C-alpha cells in the first residue's frame, strides 16, 4: 500500500522521512524556547500554500501571539497576507469566546484545508483553567468517538490532559495534516503530558553544547509508517528559512551555531 506523503518544503528535511509526512497525521513539533518550533511549523504551512498550492490554516491561540508570527514571517520575507491559500487565524483566549475547534473546522471546510498549524498546545494548556470545563463539554458533544478510541480508548488523565486529548482527536477528524507547536519541560516531556503519546509523529528541536558554542539540532523521535534516522541533525536558520544538515558534516561550519 502506497502512503501519500506531504512535502514540508524545508530544505533537507523531507529526505529524512521517505519524501514527506504521511497525510492526515498529527505531528508534534516540540522543544524548549528558541529552538525553532514556530519557524518549522510556519514554514511547512507557508511552503505548502506557496509552492504546493495547498490550502493551509495557521491557527494562533491568543491575540498577543499574532505579532510573533508576523515578525517571524517578515524575517524570511514571507508575505502571509499576499500568499494565496494561506490563512492566519487568530483566536483570542477568553472564557466566553474560546471556541477553537469550531473556528478551525469552519475555516477548514471553507478552504478545503490540507495543512493546519496550531500555535500552540502550550497556550491551550496554560489557559485551560479558563475554559477546560466549557471547552471539554463542547468537545465531548462533537467528538468523533471512533477517532478518540483509535487514539487511546483507555486514557483517563486529569482535566488538562483530557482537554488536549479530545482537542487532538477533533483535529484528526478534520482529515488534514496538523502540526502542533508544543513546549517541553526540562525533563523532556511536554507540558500537557499527553500529546507526544497520542500524536502520530514527534519532531524534537533542541540545542546541544559543542566546543564552538550551542548548536540547534533536530531529531525525529517518532513518525508512524515511516523509516527515520535515529540521529540528530543540525538545524540552520538561514535568510530564506530552515535547513537540516548532517550534524557530523557541519559542526565546523559557523552557520550551524546558534545565533
pTM for the model stands at: 0.86
Beta partners for residue 204, in sequence order: 30, 219
Q: Which residues contact 53 (CB under 8 A, 6 or more apart)?
A: 84, 85
Are 78 and 89 contacting, i.e. CB atoms less than 8 angstroms apart?
Answer: no
Confidence of residue 127 (pLDDT cuts 50, 70, 90): low
Only one residue has cell 502542533, namely: 180
Question: Is the backbone peptide bond immediately before 120 cis, with ω within 30 degrees of 0?
Answer: yes
Beta partners for residue 182, in sequence order: 30
Grid coordinates of 207: 540545542
Q: What is the pLDDT at residue 186?
A: 80
Confidence of residue 138 (pLDDT cuts 50, 70, 90): low
Beta partners for residue 205, in sequence order: 31, 218
Distance CA 86, CA 54 (A): 8
Closest CA to 164 of 188, 141, 191, 202: 191
CA 48 to chain centre: 14
Distance CA 94, CA 203 (A): 30
Distance CA 251, CA 199 (A): 31
What percentage of the chain reaches a pLDDT higher than 90? 58
Beta partners for residue 181, in sequence order: 29, 119
The residue that leads in pLDDT, 126 or 253, is 126
Burial of 242 by CB count in 10 Å (0-12 exposed, 13-18 middle, 19+ buried)? buried
Are 161 and 194 contacting, i.e. CB atoms less than 8 angstroms apart?
Answer: yes
Which of 14-28, 109-123, 158-172, 234-248 tops mean pLDDT?
14-28
Distance CA 161, CA 165 (A): 6
Is the confidence at residue 156, as pLDDT, over 50? no
Distance CA 243, CA 235 (A): 6
Domains of the chain plus CATH, in order, are 18-205 (3.40.50.300)
- pLDDT by residue (tens digit) across 22-78? 999 999 999 998 999 999 999 999 999 999 999 999 999 887 889 999 999 999 999
SS3 assignment, position 19: coil
Which of 3-7, 95-99, 192-196, 249-253 tops mean pLDDT?
3-7
Is the confidence at residue 100, as pLDDT, over 60? yes
Q: What is the pLDDT at residue 147?
A: 42
Grid coordinates of 137: 463539554
Amino acid at each position: 500500500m502506497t502512503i501519500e506523503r506531504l512535502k514540508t518544503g524545508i530544505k533537507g528535511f523531507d529526505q529524512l522521512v521517505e519524501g514527506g509526512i504521511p497525510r492526515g497525521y498529527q505531528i508534534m513539533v516540540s522543544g524548549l524556547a528558541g529552538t525553532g518550533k514556530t519557524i518549522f511549523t510556519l514554514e511547512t504551512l507557508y511552503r505548502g500554500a506557496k509552492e504546493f498550492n495547498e490550502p493551509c490554516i495557521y491557527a494562533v491561540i491568543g491575540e498577543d501571539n499574532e505579532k510573533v508570527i508576523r515578525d517571524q514571517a517578515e524575517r524570511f520575507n514571507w508575505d502571509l497576507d499576499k500568499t494565496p491559500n494561506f490563512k492566519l487565524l487568530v483566536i483570542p483566549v477568553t472564557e466566553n469566546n474560546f471556541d477553537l475547534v469550531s473556528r478551525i473546522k469552519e475555516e477548514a471546510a471553507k478552504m478545503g484545508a490540507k495543512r493546519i498549524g496550531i500555535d500552540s498546545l502550550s497556550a491551550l494548556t496554560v489557559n485551560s483553567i479558563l475554559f477546560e470545563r466549557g471547552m471539554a463539554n463542547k468537545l465531548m458533544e462533537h467528538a468523533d468517538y471512533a477517532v478518540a478510541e483509535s487514539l487511546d480508548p483507555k486514557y483517563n488523565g486529569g482535566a488538562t490532559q483530557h482537554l488536549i486529548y479530545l482537542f487532538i482527536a477533533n483535529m484528526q477528524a478534520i482529515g488534514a495534516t496538523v502540526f502542533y507547536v508544543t513546549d517541553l519541560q526540562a525533563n523532556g516531556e511536554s507540558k500537557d503530558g499527553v500529546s507526544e503519546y497520542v500524536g502520530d509523529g514527534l519532531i524534537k528541536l533542541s540545542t546541544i553544547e559543542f566546543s564552538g558554542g550551542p548548536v540547534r539540532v533536530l531529531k525525529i523521535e517518532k513518525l508512524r509508517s515511516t523509516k527515520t534516522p535515529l540521529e540528530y541533525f543540525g538545524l540552520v536558520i538561514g535568510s530564506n528559512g530552515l535547513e537540516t544538515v548532517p550534524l557530523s558534516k557541519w559542526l565546523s561550519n559557523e552557520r550551524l551555531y546558534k545565533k
